[in-house]
């Protein structure tokens, strides 16, 4: 049984990852500060699923002020999922939360990781937002990052810090650049959650721009599988991987699929394009396939159906 830390364990992806590890019989320390970027009640629910496991410990607090020397004793893997998420909220006054929670918190963790004797892997949750409006689609990891949002800038800075600590101190990091992850427990500020909620309340769905933007959507269990592989495959150390759903989809078509799943037409309200949103994203996942054995398994229709089943009782 390995001892593992998951930061952001009460969050969307972090809670699924922690649960998968606990089901494998690992000992998991979950760290979360339960901030109020979205309703902490969602996070409490996520953690309640983890607290049924005897080998789970919750540490509540800000990453920057925890005693990492003690926390990292005997820990073999750290999955660093905690971050200040959200592209649109990263402009203006909100920016400080992004520098603190994305850059400074990661630096504190890396400083501790360089002295951690038993650490075999630090898996950093990065994002497709660092590419911005990529010239090449599908986008491979060698393309120069050009973030179009302050959020993307902070996630890229933290990823680069990981690279520095790897190069200078041998911190065994791996970076996973997620492409729009969705599924049960998805954050309430994310599109599919908002869309399904609007359907339940019989409201029109806000669509930014013309609805022709494309995204590579990744089901949460595929993102979890990528994390587990990143922590175990020896050749992954020091590498960056795209983690996508394997197909690029037009938003308008996604809405048609959702309408079929919910069994009624979806009202759409077209609003102005949002600042900082990339027009198209598409992941070239051939590197992850080759080195991590990554293979996205959940189709968009199947994944959306699972998310709908989860959302219905939330708002009924």
The residues annotated as belonging to the active site are 151
Strands (E), the chain: 3-7, 27-32, 56-60, 75-80, 121-127, 173-178, 181-182, 205-208, 214-216, 218-219, 240-243, 248-250, 268-271
Retrieve residue 170's tokens: 């041998």
Cβ-proximal residues to 41 (8 Å cutoff; 6+ apart), any chain: none
Distance CA 21, CA 282 (A): 29
Distance CA 249, CA 299 (A): 11
Distance CA 211, CA 228 (A): 34
Handedness of CA 257, 260, 263, 266 (dihedral sign): positive
Q: What single-letter DSSP state applies at residue 265?
A: -
Retrieve residue 157's tokens: 């800075």
- DSSP per residue, 43-105: HHHHHHHHTTSTTEEEEES-GGGS-HHHHTTTEEEEEE------SGGGSGGGHHHHIIIIIIH
Distance CA 39, CA 187 (A): 9
Provide φ and ψ at 275, rounded to 5°.
Answer: -65, 135
| Inter-residue contact 166 to 173 (CB < 8 Å) | yes
Q: By 3-state DSSP, what share of the chain in percent is helix, strand and coil, each rounded to 5?
A: 45, 20, 40
Cβ-proximal residues to 42 (8 Å cutoff; 6+ apart), any chain: 185, 187, 188
């Amino acid at each position: 049984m390995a001892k593992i830390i998951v930061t952001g364990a009460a969050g969307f992806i972090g809670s699924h990852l922690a649960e998968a590890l606990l089901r494998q019989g690992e000992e998991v320390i979950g760290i979360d500060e339960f901030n109020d970027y979205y309703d902490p009640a969602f996070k409490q629910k996520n953690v309640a699923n983890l607290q049924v496991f005897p080998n789970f410990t919750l540490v509540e607090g800000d990453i920057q002020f925890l005693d990492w020397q003690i926390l990292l004793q005997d820990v073999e893997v750290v999955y660093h999922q905690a971050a200040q998420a959200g592209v649109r909220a990263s402009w203006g006054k909100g920016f400080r939360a992004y520098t603190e929670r994305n850059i400074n918190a990661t630096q504190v963790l890396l400083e501790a990781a360089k002295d951690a004797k038993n650490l075999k892997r630090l898996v950093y949750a990065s994002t497709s937002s660092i590419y911005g409006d990529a010239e090449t689609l599908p986008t491979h990891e060698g393309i120069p990052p050009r973030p179009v949002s302050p959020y993307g800038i902070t996630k890229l800075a933290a990823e680069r810090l990981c690279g520095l600590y790897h190069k200078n101190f041998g911190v065994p990091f791996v970076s996973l650049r997620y492409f729009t992850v969705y599924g049960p427990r998805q954050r309430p500020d994310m599109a599919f959650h908002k869309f399904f909620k609007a359907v339940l309340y019989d409201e029109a769905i806000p669509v930014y721009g013309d609805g022709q933007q494309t995204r590579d959507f990744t089901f949460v269990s595929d993102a979890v599988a990528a994390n587990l592989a990143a922590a175990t495959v020896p050749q992954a150390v020091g590498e960056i991987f795209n983690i996508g759903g394997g197909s690029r989809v037009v938003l308008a078509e996604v809405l048609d699929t959702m309408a079929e799943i919910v069994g009624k037409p979806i009202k759409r309200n077209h609003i102005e394009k949002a600042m900082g949103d990339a027009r198209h994203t598409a992941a070239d996942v051939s590197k992850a396939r080759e080195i991590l054995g990554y293979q996205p398994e959940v189709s968009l229709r199947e994944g959306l159906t699972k998310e709908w089943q989860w959302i219905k009782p939330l708002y009924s």
